[in-house]
Structure formats: C-alpha cells, structure tokens
Chains A and B, each alone.
Chain A
C-alpha cells in the first residue's frame, strides 16, 4: 500500500534554515501537505502543494516537490524557537484516504 517516510529527528541552530525531507510511494498523489504538531496539540496545516507544481513559497516556508523521485521537502528559513514541533508530511491521492508520515521532530539549538 501507500507509504510516506520521514527522518525522525532534525536539530538546527536558531537562525539557520531547516530542511525536512519526505518520500512517498503513491504515483497518483494529487496534493502533498505539511502539518505541524506542537506538544500536546492537534495537527495544524502549514502548507500544501499540488502535484503539478515544483515549488511553492509562503513567507519563511519553501516546499519543493520532485515528482519523478517522489520526494518532498519543507525548508524553513531563519528557524526560530517557536518552530520547534513535529512536522508531518501527508499524501493525498483521494479524498477517502490521506496518509501521514511518522513525523520529523525539529529541535532548535541556541
């Protein structure tokens, strides 16, 4: 079945850029999402990209999609302590099922 894979941890220095990577297996993905989960909270949509796009930029966030390699990345510029959270990649191929990765825990070093 479909799968979404992410590395579990990422540590960056405050002010640096963070790059969180995701790979997926579904060839019929139409949307790919990034959700953020802060401690004890639910899932908050950060951004998404439609599958016919290569890149989407939204303020400090840049999403890159390599559809050939089925690779998605989220770049956070000028990472701040408030960016500490778990970031989930999610694959939407049909409305009936959206698959999430295991999440990447981003920690920020002073």
Chain B
C-alpha cells in the first residue's frame, strides 16, 4: 500500500541551528501538509501546499518556517534558528484530492500521514 515516507525519524539539534525535515508524499497525491505535535498535546496544523505554493498556513507558521517541493518527489519543511519550543513530532501528510467521481466514499480527500520526524532542540 502506498505510504508517506519521512526522514529523519529523529533529529537532535542545538538551539539556533537550522533543520530540514523531508517527506516523500504518495506519488499521485496533489495536496501536502505539515502538522506538528508537541509531546502529549494536540496535533496542530502548520501549512498546506498545492500546485507548488502554500495554500494555507496557521499562525504557528511564521517566518521561521518554510516549505519547498524542490523536485517531483520531496516535500520539505525548513525550520530556521530553532528554539527549544520547536521540539515536537512533525508529521507530513498527503491528500489525493482526485477529481470528483460522484462517489463521496471513494476515499478521496483522506489524508495519509507519515510516521513522523521527532525533532529535539537542546
């Protein structure tokens, strides 16, 4: 079954450093997302990406963050000048958003998540 792949699974970095988290969405999917989950807390929306541009972003997604689809397969989240509070699990997801087939139970518009990248900022 197709899956969303995330690397690294765990990254430890020093405060102030830049990190890049990588995701390979499912190949025929059109919408991509980053979410984060601080330990024990809710899954928070960061950003969505469609047609090579940001579709929507949350108030968390400030100038410290950026996303990019540098080639046809990778989708990256860059966090500049990391802070202690950036420590979290970061989840990538993709959504097929296939054209409507008239069957709302077709499985379209269902997000598939990767296993997550745990970021620890020291």
A-side residues, CB < 8 A to B, are 30-31, 33, 35, 41-45, 48, 50, 52, 88, 90, 92, 94-103
Contact = CB atoms under 8 A, between A and B. Distances in A.
B115 A41 contact: yes
Interface of B is mostly: strand
A102 B41 contact: yes
Interface string B87-122: 000010101010000001100011111111000000
Interface residues on B, range: 20 to 34
Chain A, interface SS category: strand
Contact of B48 (A33, A42, A97): A97
13 contacts: A31-B110, A41-B115, A42-B115, A43-B43, A45-B111, A95-B95, A95-B109, A96-B31, A96-B55, A97-B55, A99-B45, A100-B35, A100-B44
A95 B55 contact: yes
Given A43-B91, A48-B110, A95-B48, A100 B31 contact: no
Contacts of A97: 45, 48, 55-56
Contacts of B50: 95-96
Nearest to B112: A45
A43 B113 contact: yes
Interface in B53-81: 55-56
A88 B56 CA distance: 21
Top 6 nearest A-B pairs by Cβ distance? Answer: A96-B55, A96-B56, A102-B42, A100-B43, A43-B113, A42-B115
Contacts of B110: 31, 33, 45, 48
Contact of A88 (B33, B43, B48, B55): B43
Nearest to B113: A43
A92 B35 CA distance: 14
